Chain A
Amino acid sequence: EIVMTQSPATLSVSPGERATLSCRASQSVTSKLAWYQQKPGQAPRLLIYGASTRATGIPARFSGSGSGTEFTLTISSLQSEDFAVYYCQHYSNWPLTFGGGTKVESK
């Protein structure tokens, strides 16, 4: 099983600032990596797939990078609606696994 490790667990950011979230895989997942955003009481929403492709309707301030075992989600200028928990997920093989999440909170 591929273990996905996200860091930090909590990120305190002011609106307008840049947020950088990390996700590490215990073995290579090539570019088979997705990022999701989840707000309280809501289902997850797909942000990024293929490590760097924005899903439909996702603002350009969200970007993904990386391949192999190291991945990054960057929010270039944090908006109030971006405070949420973010999860990475690999889909390289079975079982699919998610990272533990990074909570982005207001500083």
Chain B
Amino acid sequence: EVQLLESGGGLVQPGGSLRLSCAASGFTFSSYSMTWVRQAPGKGLEWVSAIRRDSSTVYADSVKGRFTISRDNSKNTLYLQMSSLRAEDTAIYYCAKDCGGTWCFDSWGQGTLVTVSS
């Protein structure tokens, strides 16, 4: 059974940094692209960043230059390093596994809440 478990969320001041982790199990992590999607309170889904199997990366314009996605295949873990955080980054952050060669997402974690506030 595929499992994705996010951690690292919390309360951070504007301008601060935070690193999210997503521990994966139940599948061959290195064989899949992964992504982060966020959801502001009461709002819809927003794609944030993606990392391919070869560790090449893509970012939404809203986070480019501030967030860094990475993966450690030896630890089956996905990361999102977030810096220069803004109030508008407040959201639940989900990690998700791609469908296998396409950028739909067939497994999701339960999410971790990031709150940016002074």
> Which residue numbers of A lie inside 8 Å of B, CB to CB?
32, 34, 36, 38, 42-46, 49-50, 55-56, 87, 89, 91, 94-101
Q: Is the beta-carbon distance between B102 and A49 smaller than 8 angstroms? A: yes
Please give, as numbers and ranges, the residues of chain B lying within 8 Å of A101 by CB-CB distance. Answer: 44-45
With contacts A43-B110, A44-B94 taken as known, whether A96 is within 8 angstroms of B103 at the C-beta atoms is yes
Q: Is the beta-carbon distance between A89 and B45 smaller than 8 angstroms? A: yes
Q: Is the beta-carbon distance between B106 and A46 smaller than 8 angstroms? A: yes
The answer, among A43, A49, A95, for a CB contact under 8 Å with B94, is A43
Chain B, range 76-118, C-beta contacts under 8 Å to A: 94, 99, 102-111
Please give, as numbers and ranges, the residues of chain A lying within 8 Å of B61 by CB-CB distance. Answer: 95
Q: How many pairs, one residue from A and one from B, have CB atoms within 8 Å of each other in the complex?
A: 58
Please give, as numbers and ranges, the residues of chain B lying within 8 Å of A55 by CB-CB distance. Answer: 106
Q: Could you write out 24 A-B pairs with CB less than 8 Å apart?
A: A32-B103, A36-B45, A36-B105, A43-B108, A43-B109, A43-B111, A44-B37, A44-B105, A44-B108, A46-B104, A46-B106, A46-B107, A49-B99, A50-B102, A50-B104, A87-B44, A87-B45, A89-B104, A91-B104, A96-B35, A96-B47, A96-B50, A99-B44, A101-B44
Q: Is the beta-carbon distance between B104 and A49 smaller than 8 angstroms? A: yes
Please give, as numbers and ranges, the residues of chain B lying within 8 Å of A87 by CB-CB distance. Answer: 44-45
Chain B, range 43-63, C-beta contacts under 8 Å to A: 44-47, 50, 58, 60-61
The answer, among A38, A46, A95, A100, for a CB contact under 8 Å with B47, is A95
Give Cα A98–Cα B46 distance, bound, in whole angstroms.
Answer: 7
B113 to chain A, nearest CB (A): 12
Q: Is the beta-carbon distance between B105 and A32 smaller than 8 angstroms? A: no
With contacts A94-B58, A95-B61, A96-B50 taken as known, whether A46 is within 8 angstroms of B105 at the C-beta atoms is yes
Chain B, range 20-78, C-beta contacts under 8 Å to A: 35, 37, 44-47, 50, 58, 60-61
